[in-house]
Structure 1
């Protein structure tokens, strides 16, 4: 039995965790108490993250669609995917990456798109726009005197929630904004404001809350209805000299946006509507775009599991999971942390960068 330190892939906080392996198979996790972000504390998703490696629906082989999705081999599936790509003009191809890809995979995917002349490329980012400002640190959250929270941070990002609770125990005032009648975060707040929308709050109540903000305050943005709202929260923070920390969903969303354009659902739909072929890397796009993908002439998916997108794809490539490859993730506060391969990918699965390179080779792309 062996313990290897790695980074939890469950969200964008970037907690450290030890992966327990036995005979090159992940069998559990153990706290990594020296990690500065979570100090050995992990949420349920973090403690169970090893199960991602052993999912029942893990893809072990390439697949292609005939009458149904059937097992194939690398040569046949690559040839089919490349043949369809070559038949399309650059403007007819769309490429979707993911906040679950490593920084290095995002860079290779962008290089691949550029080599093909494809401009329709990005990754699903909810409603978060590109940003590169200095955010609050998790220590800032813990040491703040006032915290304004948008969203259910305690439920969705428990280790940030832990910092909020520590701040409250030290006397901080907490105000939470959300849509539901009751939330976990709202229950521990001094004031919970139920709102119809983020826009409604900004228009009607933000000025009152802004008066409470000082240089020892933090705004935690866990959700947005529209990308423009982040800029408004930035302006509120700037006027009060307070700090702000946008919290995105996937483990490398902050890193992905340095290379790939963050796409709202509206922009995703617009891309799908304008292309004939879509190449999806590590995102289950059908889970949030639904019927929109049906108009595509051809769909290529690169995934660790047989998810909803893989099930409707024409070609499916089996990809390695986070502990089966080497690279780096950039967390919510902009801290980049390295991950290493701990266990081998199952079956014929490969890491995303290797698959992209294989496609590029078949496309006769000159990477130089």
Structure 2
């Protein structure tokens, strides 16, 4: 029997809705959720392919043995030698559980946020669509197309578009009035005279930490767009570490516990230098391939939870399919015994 269930896209922080198609309780596809206020019936390629992780999930793993092995490994190490790392790939409830787990046991805790930070007051997607000027840092029409759609709407409303990208053939350049391949600092300085209270700056990267202070000081609304679905929600709970701080943490780690992330892909670091790695993941990635212990977890499709999108809105989602795996919070409960 075919069923359609609604959930959220986990591919970035925009917070689009997707419909999941089930055939006899098996996920077979997706299509856009037309009444969702964020994407209104549109999904990018990443959204349409977001179920791939579920379709490629771990099979036939002895969950009890994996948890027992992880527990023994944790107990055999000093707390100061153990580091825990996560990002916005985990939902609000999981972030809270991970933070409590690290603090209760005295482990080092690392959280990374694309080099960005939390801003209390951010623009909405409607602010972008109705801005008089939009300053775009990053190729958002290609990388975050459902925010890019609002930039197109602004253009249709006669806004002037200023675009910065490291990619000389950026898609966003196609609708921009002014384009640049400079640094973020130079881009802001060059157009400082154009930025006013009718402007919105939308960005998905910065070159350095000082860029964030520069952006925050502008006399206009800003909107950081993160690459992971719950980075903003996690930043409300955990302070992020810089890349240098995380590398230093790795250098002083004997046991690394990775929560639903692919740190091998994210960091230019030789993780084979770390004695032991425990990875909690819903499907195989470069980190699980080098991990000593892998514990399968529920994907977002298999549990209830919430993400906080780029605008700061908390969006709840519900399980669309049953799973024999445990959630991160349930596994942490077992590890704490």
- Following the alignment from structure 1 to structure 2, what is the Cα–Cα distance between the partners of residues 301 and 191? 45
Q: 1:286 aligns with which of 243, 264, 284?
A: 264
Deviation by residue 1:310-332 (Cα, 9 ceiling, x = unmatched): 11111100111111111100000
1:123 aligns with 2:111: yes
Partner of 1:27: 28
- Following the alignment from structure 2 to structure 1, what is the Cα–Cα distance between the partners of residues 23 and 37? 27
Deviation by residue 1:39-64 (Cα, 9 ceiling, x = unmatched): 11111221232333212xx21244xx
1:350 aligns with 2:318: no
1:341 aligns with 2:319: yes
Q: 1:309 aligns with which of 253, 264, 287?
A: 287
**What SS does structure 2 have at the residue aligned with 1:180?**
coil
Partner of 2:12: 11
- Following the alignment from structure 1 to structure 2, what is the Cα–Cα distance between the partners of residues 289 and 313? 15
Q: 1:253 aligns with which of 218, 231, 237?
A: 231
1:210 aligns with 2:186: no
**What SS does structure 2 have at the residue aligned with 1:215?**
coil
**What SS does structure 2 have at the residue aligned with 1:5?**
strand
C-alpha displacement at 1:210, in angstroms? 1.7
- Following the alignment from structure 1 to structure 2, what is the Cα–Cα distance between the partners of residues 296 and 106? 24
**What SS does structure 1 have at the residue aligned with 2:191?**
helix
Q: TM-score, normalised by structure 1?
A: 0.87
**What SS does structure 2 have at the residue aligned with 1:149?**
strand
Instruction: Indicate conservation of the 8 Å contact 1:126/1:265, yes or no.
Output: no
The answer for unaligned runs of 5 or more in structure 2 is none
- Following the alignment from structure 2 to structure 1, what is the Cα–Cα distance between the partners of residues 269 and 203? 30
Instruction: Indicate conservation of the 8 Å contact 1:61/1:317, yes or no.
Output: no
C-alpha displacement at 1:349, in angstroms? 2.7
Deviation by residue 1:75-128 (Cα, 9 ceiling, x = unmatched): 33222222221122221110011211110011011111111012x212222211
Report the count of equivalent residues.
Answer: 336
Partner of 1:112: 101
Partner of 2:121: 134
**What SS does structure 2 have at the residue aligned with 1:329?**
strand
Instruction: Indicate conservation of the 8 Å contact 2:54/2:283, yes or no.
Output: no
Partner of 1:164: 151
Q: 1:173 aligns with which of 160, 181, 189?
A: 160
1:321 aligns with 2:321: no
C-alpha displacement at 1:290, in angstroms? 4.8
- Following the alignment from structure 2 to structure 1, what is the Cα–Cα distance between the partners of residues 69 and 78? 16
**What SS does structure 2 have at the residue aligned with 1:147?**
strand
Instruction: Indicate conservation of the 8 Å contact 2:115/2:206, yes or no.
Output: yes
Partner of 1:366: none
Closer, same or farther: CA 234–92 of 1 in aligned 2, 3 Å: same
- Following the alignment from structure 2 to structure 1, what is the Cα–Cα distance between the partners of residues 187 and 283? 44
Partner of 1:67: none
Deviation by residue 1:205-224 (Cα, 9 ceiling, x = unmatched): 52341211221110012111
**What SS does structure 2 have at the residue aligned with 1:29?**
strand
- Following the alignment from structure 2 to structure 1, what is the Cα–Cα distance between the partners of residues 52 and 284? 15
